[in-house]
């Protein structure tokens, strides 16, 4: 298949969106499902075909221009797609995982009425379309279009059950927080326009080295602000856990596998700029690390199954930023990929659980589910192992690559990163043990309903479980087997050789670190499993645990520092508007009226008074004549 037909990839989901959206009232649910999933599948197939071409050695990135989007003066922004190794990889992840989630959704959402079902699939298709646009864009504007598009779809999907106002609020929060980030992105684009006169990747990257470091730092920092919004990093991460209000497949698709990785993609894409700005790199690394740690600590004390996964997502995203910050772009992308698999798996598994529990999300009311849901149990366990970083599951490899690079940059990074990884292992197995082990703690009614999910749900689980298990082998580190890093080699034309920030660690150290991480992860996992299997964490947290359970009170902080003052300001402005600005305007009117009332008193009706005033007038004129110089 020709590279030129790349437009099919986003076009197919768009068609799916249009059909499902416009004819949602007349389509049957099965047809909707077929259209929704089928278009993504087709898209995946096309992506595979394209991938077939791209993976040929020596393939250089190609730009496929569809039409002129905006042309003003010297600034020309074509609607063009960038086809290269990086974007193709993402295409595969998005369409592949996307398809699985669509498939899963046909079953998971089956209880919805047909129009809403169709609406759901339309949104999902639109989301895939936006995400594809994001990764395919050959310039920052197209990227930005997809960027905002996924934000929108996230908004629509989180608020899918629009009757519930809390969900609506969560959706709104997601959109607005994303917008804050987008603003940074947008300003970065303007800076690029001013600096380079272009927003095309090729142009910008080619001239990057000639720009002043200050400007580049500003651009990269602003881009990173955008990334913090989209990828839920400090300080804009709070929307992501709230976004769990959406249907679970949405959480899987958007808030785990794809959308939130947009920030990683974008920074990886513009790594040329980041390589030139060490300051930003450090910031990215530190923010990533802090986010990873913060989210991990919060996840320790969450009881909502999806919330744990959400914070784990934030934490993992922090990892990826750490990778980006230390220059391990391949590692970051690698982690994106593996994370896509196991996090989608975990979310879908959680969805399966929730489905079986009749909508219950609180782990404290679960327990011992493996008895009823063997497939879910097993696949979920695979996911947990993978995310915990236990070899040879995929998470181990990708996480290790990042940690190794972090160590090379700064051992402190490594230390914190490792600690976070252990926390991850801990809370994941806490989750697993509480949910699947021990005895059932829910109601009779719920117990009665417990059942393994249908195949439309389990098949994606199985597929993802397999992927989560084996994907790690795409990126076997140099230390273990030279030249076995398939992914690294594949991405090399775009990202360049594996740049560990210039500092290479010795093979021995790397192996040592690897072993340390693996062993510790294993120990922590087992410990957590054993601990929570018998004594699930049911009590209300106290002390520091309460702080964690309440997410470090960050939401409250934001509320007090930003939302409330803004609200007060708005109220103040309303007051000013009414009383001062409009007050002045009305005051002028009233003044005229008042003046009128007073002035007409001059008209006393008495001739004597009139003549007197006339004489006074004459006097004034004469006095002016006498005393005022002209």
Partner 1 sequence: MGITQVLFWFLSILALLSAILVVISKNPVHSVLWLIMVFVAISGHYILLDAQFLAIVNLIVYAGAIMVLFLFVFMLMNLNAETEPQKNRWLKIAGVVAGGALLLVLVAALKKADLKLQVAEMNRGDIGLIHTLGVTLFKDYVVPFEISSVLFLSAMVGVVVIGKKE
Partner 2 sequence: MIPVLLIVIPLVTGLVGFLIKNEGNARGWSLLSSIVTLIVALWGLSLAKTSPLLAANVEWLPDLGSRFAVGLDGLSKILVLLTAVCFPLIFIATWRDQYKKAWNFYALMLLSQAGLIGVFVATDALLFYFFWELALIPVYFLCSQWGGERRIQATFKFFIYTFVGSLLMLVGIIWLYWQTADHSFSMESFYALRTKLSGADQTWVFWLLFVAFAIKMPIWPLHTWQPETYEQSPTATTMVLSAIMVKMGLFGVIRWLVPVVPVGSWAWGDTVSGACIIGMVYASLVAIKQDDLKRLIAYSSIAHVGLMCLAIFATTESGLQGVMIQLFNHGINILGMWIVVDLIERQFGTRKISELGGLAQKAPALAILLVVVALANVALPLTNAFVGEFLLFSGVFTSTATQYSVVFTVVAALTIILGAVYTLNMIQRVFYGNTNSLTEKGVDIKMNEKLVLGAIVVLIIVIGVYPKPVLAMTKETTDFLLSKMNYKL
Partner 3 sequence: MNSILLSAIWGIVMMFSGVFTQNKTIIRYTAIVGLVALLAGNCADMIGYHVAIDVHKMLNYDEFGMLGNAIAFVSTLLLVLVSGRDMERVGHNLAEYFALIFFVLCGVAIVTSFNTLLMLFLGIEIISIPLYILTGSDKRNLKSNEAALKYFLMGSFSTGLMLLGIALLYGASQNGTFFIDDLWTGGPAVATRPMFMAGLLLLLVSMGFKVSAAPFHFWTPDVYDGAPTVFTSFMATIVKVSIFIGFVRLFEDGFGESRDRWQIFVAIITAATLFIGNITAVFQQSVKRMLAYSSIAQAGFMLLALLALNAVSRQGMLLYAAVYGVATIGIFAVLIRMKDYTFEGFNGLAKKQPVLAATLTIFLLSLAGIPLTGGFFAKYYMLAAVVESGHFMWLVIFAVLCAAVSVYYYFRVIQAMYFKDGEGSTETEPGVGFKGMLVVLAAVVVVLGVWPQVLLGLLAKFPYTW
Q: Which does 447 bind (CB under 5 to 8 A by kind): partner 3, partner 1, partner 2, none?
A: none
First to last CA, the chain: 91
Q: Which does 56 bind (CB under 5 to 8 A by kind): partner 3, partner 1, partner 2, none?
A: none
DSSP 254: I
Please select the residue that binds partner 3; options are 56, 439, 602, 627, rule is CB under 8 A. Answer: 602
Q: Which does 155 bind (CB under 5 to 8 A by kind): partner 1, partner 2, partner 3, none?
A: partner 2
Distance in Å, CB of 630 to partner 1, minimum: 14
- DSSP SS3 for 70: strand
**Residue 239's closest CA among 319, 145, 313?**
313
544-552: list long-range contacts, CB under 8 Å, 24+ apart.
Answer: 545/301, 546/301, 548/297, 548/298, 548/300, 548/301, 549/301, 549/302, 549/303, 551/238, 551/241, 551/298, 552/294, 552/297, 552/298
Beta-sheet pairing, 75-83 with 62-72: antiparallel
What CA–CA distance (Å, rounded) separates 197 from 416?
41
Please select the residue that binds partner 3; options are 25, 60, 210, 596, rule is CB under 8 A. Answer: 596
Q: Which is nearer to partner 2, 506 or 571 (CB)?
A: 571
Q: Which does 596 bind (CB under 5 to 8 A by kind): partner 3, partner 1, partner 2, none?
A: partner 3
Q: Which is nearer to partner 1, 544 or 610 (CB)?
A: 610
Helix, strand, coil content of the chain in percent (nearest 5): 75, 5, 20
Q: Which is nearer to partner 1, 592 or 623 (CB)?
A: 623
Judge whether 321 and 329 are in contact, CB under 8 Å. Answer: no
Judge whether 441 and 362 are in contact, CB under 8 Å. Answer: no
Q: Which is nearer to partner 3, 206 or 624 (CB)?
A: 624
Binding mask 597-616 for partner 1 (x = CB under 8 A): ---------x-xx--x--xx
Distance in Å, CB of 629 to partner 1, minimum: 14
Q: Which does 72 bind (CB under 5 to 8 A by kind): partner 1, partner 2, partner 3, none?
A: partner 2
Dihedral (C-alpha) 30, 33, 35, 38: value to the nearest 10 degrees? -120
Does the protein bind partner 2 through residue 581 (CB under 8 A)?
yes
**Residue 159's closest CA among 262, 94, 242, 260?**
242
Judge whether 141 and 149 are in contact, CB under 8 Å. Answer: no
Give the interface segment with partner 3, choosing from 43-51, 399-407, 466-474, 605-613 (CB under 8 A).
605-613
Angle CA(83)–CA(268)–CA(231) in degrees, nearest 5? Answer: 110
CA distances from 205 to 58, 66, 211, 534 (A): 20, 22, 10, 56
**Polymer length of the chain:** 630
Distance in Å, CB of 601 to partner 1, minimum: 15
Does the protein bind partner 2 through residue 561 (CB under 8 A)?
no
Distance in Å, CB of 615 to partner 1, minimum: 5
- DSSP SS3 for 368: coil
Q: What token pair was written down for 65? A: 């221009």
Lookup result for tokens 């252990």: 422
Distance in Å, CB of 101 to partner 2, minimum: 23
Q: Which is nearer to partner 2, 73 or 543 (CB)?
A: 73
Does the protein bind partner 3 through residue 630 (CB under 8 A)?
yes
Distance in Å, CB of 585 to partner 3, minimum: 13
Please select the residue that binds partner 3; options are 444, 508, 607, 627, rule is CB under 8 A. Answer: 607
Please select the residue that binds partner 2; options are 28, 52, 75, 455, rule is CB under 8 A. Answer: 75
State the alpha helices, DSSP H only, in 55-164.
85-108, 114-136, 140-158
Give the interface segment with partner 2, choosing from 184-192, 336-344, 363-371, 433-441 (CB under 8 A).
184-192
Distance in Å, CB of 612 to partner 1, minimum: 6
Please select the residue that binds partner 2; options are 56, 58, 72, 212, rule is CB under 8 A. Answer: 72
Distance in Å, CB of 13 to partner 3, minimum: 55
Please select the residue that binds partner 1; options are 625, 628, 629, 630, rule is CB under 8 A. Answer: 625
Residues 144-163 that bind partner 2 (CB under 8 A): 144-145, 147-149, 152, 155, 159, 162-163
Judge whether 211 and 118 are in contact, CB under 8 Å. Answer: no
Q: Which is nearer to partner 2, 573 or 621 (CB)?
A: 573
Please select the residue that binds partner 2; options are 11, 50, 135, 141, rule is CB under 8 A. Answer: 141
The per-residue DSSP string of 258-324 comes to SGGGHHHHHHHHTHHHHHT-HHHHHHHHHHHHHHHHHHHHHHHT--BHHHHHHHHHHHHHHHHHHHH
Does the protein bind partner 3 through residue 553 (CB under 8 A)?
no
Judge whether 132 and 13 are in contact, CB under 8 Å. Answer: yes
Distance in Å, CB of 582 to partner 3, minimum: 18
State the alpha helices, DSSP H only, in 478-506.
486-495
Does the protein bind partner 3 through residue 627 (CB under 8 A)?
no
Give the interface segment with partner 3, choosing from 199-207, 331-339, 538-546, 593-601 (CB under 8 A).
593-601
Please select the residue that binds partner 2; options are 412, 526, 560, 566, rule is CB under 8 A. Answer: 566
Dihedral (C-alpha) 131, 497, 518, 514: value to the nearest 10 degrees? -160
Distance in Å, CB of 622 to partner 3, minimum: 6
Distance in Å, CB of 73 to partner 2, minimum: 4
What CA–CA distance (Å, rounded) separates 48 from 38?
15
**Residue 341's closest CA among 258, 455, 244?**
258
Q: What token pair was written down for 252? A: 């899987």
* Footprint of partner 3 (CB under 8 A): 592-593, 595-597, 599-600, 602-603, 605, 607, 609-611, 613-614, 616-618, 620-622, 624-625, 628, 630
Query: Which spans of this chain sit near partner 1 (rule: CB under 8 A)?
Result: 606, 608-609, 612, 615-616, 618-619, 622-623, 625-626
């Amino acid at each position: 298949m020709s590279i030129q037909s790349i437009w099919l990839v986003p076009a197919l989901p768009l068609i799916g969106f249009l059909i499902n959206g416009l004819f949602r009232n007349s389509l049957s649910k099965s047809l909707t499902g077929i259209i929704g999933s089928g278009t993504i599948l087709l898209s995946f197939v096309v992506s595979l075909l394209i991938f077939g071409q791209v993976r040929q050695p020596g393939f250089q990135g190609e730009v496929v221009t569809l039409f002129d989007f905006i042309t003003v003066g010297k600034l020309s922004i074509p609607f063009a797609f960038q086809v290269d190794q990086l974007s193709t990889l993402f295409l595969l992840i998005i369409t592949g995982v996307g398809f699985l989630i669509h498939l899963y959704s046909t079953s998971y959402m089956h209880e919805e009425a047909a129009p809403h079902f169709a609406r759901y699939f339309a949104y999902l298709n639109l989301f895939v379309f936006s995400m594809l646009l994001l990764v395919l864009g050959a310039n920052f504007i197209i990227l930005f279009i997809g960027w905002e598009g996924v934000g929108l779809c996230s908004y629509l999907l989180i608020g899918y059950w629009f009757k519930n106002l809390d969900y609506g609020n969560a959706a709104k929060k997601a959109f607005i927080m994303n917008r804050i980030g987008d603003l940074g992105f947008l300003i970065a684009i303007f800076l690029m326009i001013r600096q380079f006169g272009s927003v095309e990747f090729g142009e910008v990257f080619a001239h990057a080295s000639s720009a002043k470091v200050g400007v580049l730092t500003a651009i990269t920092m602003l881009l990173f602000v955008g990334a913090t919004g989209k990828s839920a990093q400090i300080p804009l991460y709070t929307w992501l856990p709230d976004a769990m209000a959406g249907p679970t497949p949405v959480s899987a698709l958007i808030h785990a596998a794809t959308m939130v990785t947009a920030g990683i993609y974008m920074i990886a894409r513009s790594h040329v700029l980041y390589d030139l700005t060490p300051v930003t790199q450090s910031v990215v690394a530190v923010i990533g690390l802090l986010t990873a740690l913060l989210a991990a600590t919060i996840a320790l004390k969450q009881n909502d199954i999806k919330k744990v996964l959400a914070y784990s997502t934030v934490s993992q995203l922090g990892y990826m930023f750490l990778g980006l910050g230390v220059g391990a772009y391949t590692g970051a992308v690698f982690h994106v990929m593996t994370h896509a698999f196991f996090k989608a798996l975990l979310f879908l598994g959680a969805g399966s659980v929730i489905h079986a529990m009749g909508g219950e999300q609180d782990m404290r009311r679960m327990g011992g589910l493996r008895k009823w849901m063997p497939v879910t149990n097993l696949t979920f366990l695979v996911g947990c192992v993978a995310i915990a970083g236990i070899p040879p599951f995929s998470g181990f490899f990708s996480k290790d690559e990042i940690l190794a690079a972090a160590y090379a940059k700064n051992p402190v990074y490594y230390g914190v990163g490792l600690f976070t990884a252990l926390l991850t292992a801990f809370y994941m197995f806490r989750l697993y043990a509480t949910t699947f082990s021990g005895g059932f703690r829910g109601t009779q009614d719920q117990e009665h309903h417990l059942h393994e999910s249908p195949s439309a749900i389990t098949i994606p689980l199985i597929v993802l479980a397999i992927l989560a298990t084996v994907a790690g082998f795409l990126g076997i580190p140099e230390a273990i087997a030279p030249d076995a890093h398939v992914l690294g080699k594949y991405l090399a034309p775009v990202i360049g050789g594996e740049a560990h920030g210039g500092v290479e660690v010795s093979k021995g150290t790397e192996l040592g670190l690897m072993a340390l991480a693996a062993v510790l992860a294993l120990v922590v996992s087992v410990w957590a499993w054993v601990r929570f299997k018998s004594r699930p964490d049911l009590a209300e947290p106290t002390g520091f645990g309460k702080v964690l359970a309440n997410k470090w009170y960050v939401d409250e902080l934001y509320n007090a520092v930003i939302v409330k003052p803004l609200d007060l300001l708005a109220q103040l402005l309303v007051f000013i508007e009414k009383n001062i600005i409009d007050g002045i305007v009305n005051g002028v009117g009233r003044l005229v009226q008042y003046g009128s009332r007073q002035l007409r008193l001059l008209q006393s009706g008495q001739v004597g008074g009139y003549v007197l005033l006339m004489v006074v007038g004459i006097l004034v004129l004469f006095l002016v004549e006498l005393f005022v110089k002209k």
